[in-house]
Amino acid sequence: MQDEPQETPATGEAAVKPADKPQVLRDTDDEARRLARTLVRGARHMALAVLDPETGFPSASRALTGTDVDGVPVILVSGLSAHTKSLLADPRCSLLAGETGKGDPLAHPRITVQCLAETVTRDTPEHERIRTRFLDRHPKSALYADFPDFRFFRINPQTASLNGGFGRAYVMPGADLVIRDPGITPAWLDLQQNLKNMTEAATAFATLTGTENGKNWRFGGVDRGGIDLIAGDFQLRHEFPALMDLPEAVLDYIFDTAKVC
């Protein structure tokens, strides 16, 4: 049935009321939030867009990324790089995460996160924690991480746009990507160190969670939300079904999943 003509106030002419437009965005649910967190926390690198302080134009580059214990993305950059100068002049930036695969690149999930950058001060517990987690993920970065002109930035999410594939678009607040009460205690930091030696468990865990076999897996980081597994240049983020309250619960989960005693 056609829409009924309506009289327009300005001209008195008959007009047809347009049909309701299709909804572009889906309602954000737990599945979308989980995918968003996995894309951000599982990325070895992301596209970083900043605002050039001289021209005002957006400028994009690639940056190695890690995450802090609360899930906030972290980058390590040189003071000589253009994007460092841009972030110091204007902390507004955005990150793009998501790898392509076979077929149409646009059919694969990706997420754009609008953020505010925050310098991590050297010689602080926060700097040491972030440095340890970042080097666990990117060991080769130890060659330059302590150079005087290098610094870490926390890239704090403000809002995110998730595209899970055709017809799966979502918008969510940055808080959906962050662990509100992260584990920043000696016990959680000790767990991070202890996992480095659990290579057998890491390999079994990676295999039983559906990853490729035949790789030398290791645990590269852990937090209340999940665990990172690394094998050479390949990285996997495994999100826990729910936030873990204690480090012991993480160990129980690993051993139960990997069937390793």
**Domain 23-178 is found in CATH 3.40.47.10:** no
Topology alike, domains 23-178 and 180-261: no
Alpha helices in the chain (DSSP H): 30-41, 82-89, 125-137, 186-194, 199-208, 247-258
Residue 14 above 50 pLDDT?
Answer: no
When pLDDT is averaged across residues 223-241 and rounded to a whole number, the result is 90
Banded pLDDT at 10 (limits 50, 70, 90): very low
**The token pair that represents 164 in the structure block:** 């899970």
Those residues whose C-beta lies under 8 Å from the C-beta of residue 78, and which sit 6 or more positions away, are: 84, 144, 147, 149, 150
pTM: 0.85
Is residue 17 pLDDT above 90, yes or no?
no
Instruction: Give the Cβ contact number of residue 197 at 10 Å.
Output: 11
Write down the mean pLDDT value for the chain.
88
What pLDDT does residue 1 have? 43
Domain boundaries, the chain: 23-178, 180-261
CA distances to 69, 201, 206, 213, 234 from 209, in Å: 22, 12, 5, 11, 15
Amino acid 3: pLDDT: 45
pLDDT at res. 99: 85
Rounded Cα–Cα distance for residues 216 and 238 (Å): 17
Reply yes or no on domain 180-261 having CATH 3.20.180.10: yes
Q: What is the pLDDT of residue 165?
A: 80
Would the pLDDT of 196 be above 50?
A: yes
Q: Which pLDDT belongs to residue 2?
A: 44
Q: Where are the beta strands (DSSP E) in 79-232?
A: 92-97, 110-119, 150-163, 169-173, 218-223, 226-231
* pLDDT at residue 157, as a whole number: 98
The answer to whether the CB of 137 falls within 8 A of the CB of 235 is: yes
pLDDT at 214: 57
Q: pLDDT of 136-186, one tens digit each?
A: 999 999 999 999 999 999 999 999 999 988 778 999 999 999 999 997 888
Provide the token pair at 127.
């700097």
Radius of gyration of the chain (CA): 22
pLDDT score, position 87: 97
Q: Is residue 6 scored above 70 in pLDDT?
A: no
pLDDT for residue 8 is more than 60:
no
Residue 129, pLDDT > 50, answer: yes
pLDDT of residue 189: 87
Q: Quick one: average pLDDT of 19-25?
A: 65
